[in-house]
Amino acid sequence: LAVDQQTSSLATSQRSVLEPSTAYPLWPPLTEGDPVHSTAQMQYPLEVAFDLAAGSAIGAFTAGHAGRMSDWQPLLPPLAAGIDLGAGNTPLIDGSPVAARLGLDTELYLKDESQNPTWSHKDRLNTCTVSAAVLCAAAGVVVASSGNHGASAAAISARAGLRCIVLAPAGAPPAIYDFLRAYGASVIAVPAAARWVLTRQIVSRLGFHPVSNLTPSAHTGHPFGPEGYKTIAYECFLQLGRRVPGAVLVPCGYGELLFGVWKGFTELKELGLARSVPRMFAAEPAARAPLHHALAAGLDAARVAATATAAASIGTTVGGYRGVRAVQGSGGAAIAVSEQAMRQAQAALGRSGLWQELSGAAGLGALVALGNDQPGGPVVCILTSSGFKDRGLPGRPPDELPGTWAGVADRLRADGIL
């Protein structure tokens, strides 16, 4: 292993999310999940364990501000040198104009993850997963994705000097292919059903490191990835003046973001910096919502039918145990959000100056869906990705008007300005 011995990471091992007493060496990352507790029917994820008792664990919090992922190195898996594209350090925006627009009497904050290097939260995850690829001396990175995850993996792989293969289904938003190609990725469109088998072949034949999921019965993902999302919790804590929110609402596909943010807050409590952990609310499209169904049925993960949803980035049909763990561990809930509530949230954000893809607005959509049952305390909605990523773009350009005042005035009347 080409692990940098100078790293200040306090990571000690991989451990089972189901049974934290079951630990494995930190290297290599076990990208097929927990080998002891997984079965053919249910596959369980791993996470990274840290020596939180070490003095450097609270160093970044003592400094009072951390601007880069590497500033959190003690609490992250080892990061590769030079991988920094400026991920993290996103603003926490006062959400009161948005709450007012939606008729919510909630102390609302919006964490805008579209202000990341590839304009989504995924850059935090891939800073960790691509670092793992570098430190394993992998020949490259392979990822199955047609959206934010693939683009982020491609960008950070490019930064790290690693080739990246993106297995994408046909039918992604067309601009996504330009996006992926700009990073020099090899973009291969194959039927969705073939992607996992091909990922495994690229891993075994080419020595590439997989940064997306390999386990078909339940999502386990990369054990190092969700650790990157912990930095969202750390930043929110500092940005709220060393306060912990009462609730965090998170767009939820496989539950990695939900779990990572929750884990970050649990570490703040373990470090003695905070006395509570927020309730974690998963926002899933009602058309799918595998976590909602798993919790309702008392399962560790569920599989759901591929009912149509426009929330492409979180419209997963297979859940994973991380989501169950974060919701149950925090006293939260998984909210099945209607397409209408997501659209309402997306529109309210746009009308307040924040353009999110539909999935990116799902956390706020869940807050709308909670209606009069609003959670107490400061509430943080995580906005995950730019509106440019959405399907259904571009809309129709406006008709060109003659440049006369009369014609313009008619249009302004139609728009309610005159």
Site for its own copies in 135-174 (CB under 8 A): 140, 155-159, 161, 163, 165, 168, 170, 172-174
Which of 25, 55, 103, 191 touches its own copies by CB under 8 A? 191
For its own copies, the binding residues in 109-128 under the rule CB under 8 A are 112, 114-119
Question: Could you say whether residue 103 binds its own copies (CB under 8 A)?
Answer: no
CB of 60 to its own copies, least distance (A): 13
State the Cα–Cα distance between residues 210 and 197, nearest whole angstrom. 12
Which of 1, 372, 373, 399 touches its own copies by CB under 8 A? 399
Question: Could you say whether residue 207 binds its own copies (CB under 8 A)?
Answer: no
For its own copies, the binding residues in 51-80 under the rule CB under 8 A are 65, 67-68
For its own copies, the binding residues in 330-359 under the rule CB under 8 A are 350-355
Over the range 33-47, which residues count as b (16 or more CB within 10 Å of their CB) and which as e? bbeebbeeebbbbbb
- Please classify residue 399 by burial: count the beta carbons closer than 10 Å to its beta carbon, then call 0-12 exposed, 13-18 middle and 19+ buried: exposed
Question: Could you say whether residue 204 binds its own copies (CB under 8 A)?
Answer: no
Pick 373 or 399: Cβ nearer its own copies:
399
SS3 assignment, position 12: strand
Pick 256 or 390: Cβ nearer its own copies:
390
Name the residue among 380, 352, 152 with its Cα closest to residue 262. 380
Which of 133, 187, 280, 382 touches its own copies by CB under 8 A? 187
Pick 327 or 348: Cβ nearer its own copies:
348
Question: Could you say whether residue 216 binds its own copies (CB under 8 A)?
Answer: no
Pick 37 or 122: Cβ nearer its own copies:
122
Pick 53 or 193: Cβ nearer its own copies:
193
Pick 116 or 220: Cβ nearer its own copies:
116
Question: Could you say whether residue 242 binds its own copies (CB under 8 A)?
Answer: no
CB of 332 to its own copies, least distance (A): 26
**Distance from CA of residue 366 to its chain's centroid?**
16
User: Residue 362 has which token pair?
Assistant: 């799902």
Pick 38 or 116: Cβ nearer its own copies:
116
Helix (H) or strand (E) holding 200, with range, is helix 195-206
Name the residue among 80, 202, 103 with its Cα closest to residue 143. 202
Name the residue among 150, 143, 134, 136 with its Cα closest to residue 212. 143
Strands (E), 195-264: 208-210, 247-251
Pick 187 or 381: Cβ nearer its own copies:
187
Which of 36, 197, 296, 306 touches its own copies by CB under 8 A? 197
Over the range 367-389, which residues count as b (16 or more CB within 10 Å of their CB) and which as e? bbbbeeebbeebbbbbbbbbbeb
Q: How many Cα atoms occupy the beta-carbon half-sphere of 155 within 13 Å?
A: 24
Size of the site for its own copies (CB under 8 A): 87
Q: Which amino acid is at 368?
A: V
CB of 42 to its own copies, least distance (A): 26
Q: How far is CA 264 from CA 72, 101, 123, 135, 232, in A?
A: 11, 31, 17, 24, 8
DSSP β-bridge partners for residue 46: 16
CB of 44 to its own copies, least distance (A): 27
> Which ranges in 38-193 belong to alpha helices (H)?
59-63, 96-101, 122-135, 148-160, 174-182
The interface region with its own copies, picked from 2-10, 21-29, 215-223, 390-398 by CB under 8 A, is: 390-398
Question: Could you say whether residue 107 binds its own copies (CB under 8 A)?
Answer: no
State the Cα–Cα distance between residues 94 and 105, nearest whole angstrom. 14
CB of 168 to its own copies, least distance (A): 8
User: Residue 406 has which token pair?
Assistant: 């009369």
Question: Could you say whether residue 97 binds its own copies (CB under 8 A)?
Answer: yes
For its own copies, the binding residues in 261-280 under the rule CB under 8 A are none
The interface region with its own copies, picked from 14-22, 261-269, 293-301, 408-416 by CB under 8 A, is: 408-416
- Show Cβ contacts of residue 394 under 8 Å, excluding neighbours closer than 6 positions: none
State the Cα–Cα distance between residues 51 and 29, nearest whole angstrom. 18
Pick 275 or 396: Cβ nearer its own copies:
396
Contact in structure between 230 and 9 (CB atoms under 8 Å): no
CB of 137 to its own copies, least distance (A): 17
CB of 195 to its own copies, least distance (A): 8
